[in-house]
Amino acid sequence: MAKIRPEIKTILFFIFYFTIALIGEKRSLSGVCAPGPGFLLFLLSIPVSIIYSLILYFRYHKSENKQYLNSIYIISGIWVLLFIFLSFSNK
């Protein structure tokens, strides 16, 4: 059985995670005083990304497999793109 590369797992995980957050936001909209499940999932994505990056970092040092390091770069790239998207969509 073929193993899925860590880079593909990382991309699929974040696509799935942010899709669930978007669906949660559309089903129950957030307000100023009552954040919805989409907003809470978005806030939780920060510690999830940090923990996932730490796991990948330790796996990289354990195996010296460059695929884990590439996955960390992908996570960083996702956050940079998200920051750019949110900064331009606010104007």
Please tell me the predicted confidence (pLDDT) of residue 4. Answer: 82
Tell me if 72 sits within 8 A of 55, measured CB to CB: no
Rounded to an integer, what distance in angstroms lies between the CA atom of residue 55 and that of residue 81?
22
Please tell me the predicted confidence (pLDDT) of residue 76. Answer: 92
Please tell me the predicted confidence (pLDDT) of residue 49. Answer: 92
Please tell me the predicted confidence (pLDDT) of residue 1. Answer: 60
Please tell me the predicted confidence (pLDDT) of residue 65. Answer: 83
pLDDT along the chain (91 residues), means of 10: 82 91 82 80 90 91 87 91 83 59
Q: Can you give the pTM of this predicted structure?
A: 0.78
Give the residue extent of every domain in the chain. Answer: 44-91
